[in-house]
Structure 1
Amino acid sequence: MWDIECEKALFNIRTNLEEVDKAPVITETTVTTQSVKLPKNKFDFSHRLPDGWKSTLEVNDIQWIAQSVFAGKGVLVSELKMWWYPPQLPGPDIKTAPVVDSYFHRRIFLWMPRKMWAFDFKCPNPICRNQSSLTSKGLYNRVRSVIDIKDRYYLAAEYLECRTCNKTFISYDSRLIDQLPENLRTRFPIVLTWKFACDQSVVCLMRSRTLGNSPTAVCNDIHELQTEEWMRKSLRTSVTVNVNNKVWSG
């Protein structure tokens, strides 16, 4: 059962991982500007993103999400899907200088049932009595960070409005999700509270509330798993940068 202890555990997980889930800073002791010049993006795609997305996405994820998910300013690509993954990491090609941020990208989950499946949502406002259909009002102006077992990802949604009562709703509103048939409803993998969001895999770890398996213990386990994942990414980054440092320095 979801209770205040689970809510506190989510808060602790997010707080403890604020400093963990960041790309490391490569200092001059590791690589110098004379030996390796990190390539810059030839094109800037950030103008395609809604302003609210820019302020809620991590800086290193702005370019790849803007290029992959958006065809133009505020316009999504025609072939939409729920899960979007960052570009694949480069292979062991020592001729190419690495971009450190590429090792620390997050994936993004798009939840847009009306746009993707043309589902006819009814307004949950009691005034409308579930008779008025909701219409699209574009993208929700921010993305949410979702805690997973080994990392975090983004949740993006669409905005819907009722032209009868003028109320607006986010597509992950529980009153809307409950209207979906089970085969679509089960595709939403996230448990939401007012402030936090976590993947259902995290909730599964909280089910067995036996002695020694408290929300605090779950928090510690996830913190350890995410720290290990971050360290693996940091190790791959350091090795790649050091190899390039030797090659480029001659």
Structure 2
Amino acid sequence: MWRQSFLNNKLIVLFFTLAAAASRGPAPDPAPPVQWTPGPVFQPPAELPAHWKKQLPSFQQDWIRKSLFRADKKTGKPELMPHPNFWWYPPQPPTIFTQPPSSPDVFFCRPLFLWMPLKMWLIPLACVQPACNNHRLTAAGLYRTVRKVLDIDGWYDMATEYLECKGYKKKYPAWSEEILGQLDMGHRRKFPAILTYR
């Protein structure tokens, strides 16, 4: 008697199991195997150009290095990010400190203005030497000098590109009057400072 009841219960369970499987439809296709993709290649952090290191205070160097530069994959030398902007701003200190900052430097970081008319606009610029016959200037890297500029509400640093006349063997910083004077008014007005020799 109990054997008959046990078999009946097993048949009922089997029936409902098969009915539930049929209601779900055909089994889905197995998921495709996950393909392995390589992770990002380690790239060493970029360093600032040596001549910038000598001129920028230590509290400016770290954020400028991380914001503007990356290490060349082949040589490891610092190179500018591919799409530079004019203005670069340091990270701002938090509004509220839960503990005293390790250094007061976070309060003294200042913006950087990067003037690169040839790189950013591809404006044709010419050598101004009379004997050169308006030879086209080409990019020659970053100018070694970083200027500290006093604005109406604070200080900022200014850097620029170096432009070279390969015919006359002369180089110009892009903030020089010889270069600024070749720009139309719309581009010229984006240069924010009047530079002096002192």
> What TM-score, normalized to structure 2?
0.71
Measure how far apart 1:147 and its partner are: 1.1
Paired position in structure 2 for 1:87: 91
> Are positions 1:104 and 2:103 aligned together?
no
Structure 2: state its 5+ residue gaps.
1-43, 72-76
Q: Return the alpha-carbon distance in structure 2 between the equivalents of residues 142 and 162 of structure 1.
A: 19
The one-letter amino acid paired with 1:186 is R
Going from structure 1 to structure 2, the CA distance change for 1:97 and 1:175 (only over 3 Å counts) comes to closer
| Partner amino acid, structure 1, of 2:79 | V
Larger radius of gyration: 2
For residues 196-224 of structure 1, the C-alpha deviation after alignment (integer angstroms, 9 at most, x for no partner) is xxxxxxxxxxxxxxxxxxxxxxxxxxxxx
Q: Deviations over 1:48-87 (max 9, x none)?
A: 2111111111111110011101112330011210000000
**1:112-152 CA-partner distances (Å, limit 9, x unpaired):** 0001111111111111132x100111000120110112321
Task: Tell me what 2:160 maps to.
Answer: 157
Q: In structure 1, what is the equivalent of residue 19 of structure 2?
A: none
Separation in structure 1 between the aligned mates of residue 48 and residue 54 of structure 2, nearest angstrom: 10
Distance of 1:178 and 1:161 partners within structure 2: 16
Query: In structure 1, what is the equivalent of residue 124 of structure 2?
Result: 120
For residue 100 of structure 1, what is the amino acid of its counterpart? P
Q: Which residue in the other structure is 1:64 paired with?
A: 63
**Matching residue of 1:202:** none
Deviations 1:212-246 (A, max 9, x none): xxxxxxxxxxxxxxxxxxxxxxxxxxxxxxxxxxx
Once residues 61 and 157 of structure 2 are traced to their aligned partners in structure 1, the CA distance between those partners, rounded to angstroms, is 12
- Deviation, 1:91, is 2.8
Q: Specify the SS of the correspondent of 1:92.
A: coil
Q: Match for 1:184: what amino acid? A: H
- CA–CA distance in structure 1, aligned partners of residues 79 and 156 of structure 2: 22
CA RMSD of aligned residues (A): 1.8
Residue matched to 1:188: 191
Q: Please, which runs of 5 or more residues in structure 1 have no aligned partner?
A: 1-43, 196-250
Residue 55 of structure 1 is matched in structure 2 by 54
Q: Letter of the aligned partner of 1:153 in structure 2?
A: Y
Partner AA of 1:177 in structure 2: L
Identify the residue that residue 78 of structure 2 maps to in structure 1.
Answer: 74
Question: Match for 1:77: what amino acid?
Answer: M
Q: Which has the higher contact order (CA 8 A, sep 6+)?
A: 1
1:181 Cα offset (Å): 1.2
1:1-250 alignment, distance < 5 Å: 48-72=47-71, 73-94=77-98, 97=101, 99-130=103-134, 132-195=135-198
Q: Which runs of 4+ in 1 moved over 3 A?
A: 95-99
